[in-house]
Structure 1
Amino acid sequence: MTSHDQVLLKTDIPYLKLHNKGKVREIFEIDDNLLLVATDRISAFDYILPSGIPHKGKVLTLMSEFWFKFTRELTENHLITMNIDEIDKITKEDKDLLRGRSMLVKKVEVIPVECVVRGYLAGSGWKEYKENKTICKINLPDNLKESDKLPKPIFTPSTKATSGHDENISFEEVIKITGKELAEELRQKSIEIYKKASEYALTKGIIISDTKFEWGKYKD
């Protein structure tokens, strides 16, 4: 593994099959499950920067654990364990490096839609609104200003691109990809989770302007 000054930039676990490598996370196969490892790499505007932030991966993993547990009563998720010591196929040396930044999860079939929910008019949503007063073909009031709270959270999905940039799509296009029943469930669950999480965050002085959910389904 490539680590210096407590910054983990790259993992090297030769006895596990590399399933996928993202901008920040690396995924390995363990039997029928997956090991997600959050490195300390920095990704901005779809680029990986040459330096990292010490312990960033551990912070990301702790945040993931919190939200998975917080939303579990609303929907099932793929988390099995955060305890690296419960995974006997990892060597002791690697466990010391992976501890706190890894999670064992169930392997699922990824649904190829990025489920974005917006509660405020910001970011790319603001840019689109300025042009035609809509986001993903959803009509919005004419007099909104940047960062205004929306009348209610809206579902603004995008494509899940394996390379390049994701592109916003309408709900009708989601239906074409997933079917009507699943599309409606994705929209309902995504908005439901956003509402619960954003309301909790406000009690801590944090505004969740928007968020993105990625969903999957078991192959069996």
Structure 2
Amino acid sequence: MSSPLQIPGWRHLYSGKVRDLYASEDPGDTRILVVASDRVSAFDFVLSPGVPHKGELLTTLSMWWFDQLSDVPNHIAEGEIPDAVAGHSMLAMALEMLPIECVVRGYLTGSGWLEYVASGTVCGIPLPAGLRNGDRLPEPLFTPAYKAPMGEHDENITFERAVELVGAERAAELRDVSLAVYGRAAEIAEQKGLILADTKFEFGVDADGTLRLADEVLTSDSSRYWDAEIWRTAATPEERMASFDKQIVRDWLAANWDKQGAPPALPDDIVAQTADRYRELITRLRG
């Protein structure tokens, strides 16, 4: 991973897989500068090379969704973005981040499909028999995960475990807000000819105890989007679920890496295809 940028007036705090966080050097300014990089991750590894303009594309999409969901409290703060990171960063309130990823699944796919094949459940929740890969679920499911420390794998957890981590009232609030935001976002996506198959949200609590939607929201890195018409008419599950995200990267790695040691460098055509899908999604959503 490359060294963080030196940004005048800002002190580097932390680097995740794809984002870097900075604190103001002004002791009276509690805002956080969230910088989205062009790094791309899969299977909990940061890959090389990055995807050109990915940070700008994902920041643009997050900010668009925050606007669509403006009545949901979020972490966006007012202020001027430093020139060095303009276009791919946002100013955010300092929050106490909750240790839970709030995953909502509207369709059966990914790890949920593998579990369903094995046991008829998704994250331990029983589902009707006879569902196919990519089918719409009878109702969206809230399937939380524990946010593991850097370098470790996130862990699917039960709702009861979420209650143990954050308390019954907060866990219920996370579930209800996550399902409501997913439902609204899915409706907006549907109007654009898109299916929002699943997504994950992160939340934090401000100094007043208000729950706020934080981090990125409904981006290609945190969500699966499919073309609705293709989903209805495609002959195979693979065609049906062609997604507007880094699935191209995951598929290439799965075919070319045994998950032992460091992952191989991504070919130029895989990087270019991924960037094209990110751009296409933004174009489709924003019109």
Higher strand share: 1
C-alpha distance in 2 between matches for 1:34 and 1:60: 18
Offset from partner CA, 1:24-56 (integer Å, 9 cap, x none): 111100221100111111212211122122211
| Equivalent position of 1:72 in the other structure | 70
Give the corresponding residue for 1:209: 197
Cross-structure match for 1:130: 117
Equivalent position SS for 1:141:
coil
| 3-state SS of paired residue (1:144) | coil
- From 5, 8, 11, the equivalent of 1:11 is 5
Work out the CA distance in 2 between the residues paired with 1:203 and 1:171: 31
Instruction: Please show how residues 1-220 of structure 1 align to structure 2 within 5 Å.
Output: 10-13=4-7, 15-30=9-24, 31-73=29-71, 75-81=72-78, 86-87=80-81, 90=82, 95=83, 97-163=84-150, 164-220=152-208
5+ long unaligned stretches in structure 2: 209-287
> Normalized against structure 1, the TM-score is what?
0.86
The alpha carbon displacement at 1:14 in A equals 6.4
In the alignment of these two chains, the number of paired residues is: 202
Identity fraction in percent: 47
- Checking the alignment, whether the CA contact within 8 Å between 1:39 and 1:56 is kept in structure 2 is yes
**Aligned-partner SS, 1:27:** strand
Paired residue type of 1:35? L
Contact 2:4-2:12 within 8 A present in 1 as well: no
Unpaired runs of 5+ residues, structure 1, are: 3-8
Q: What is the root-mean-square deviation of aligned Cα atoms in Å?
A: 1.7
Please identify runs of 4+ aligned residues in structure 1 that moved more than 6 A: none
Higher helix share: 2
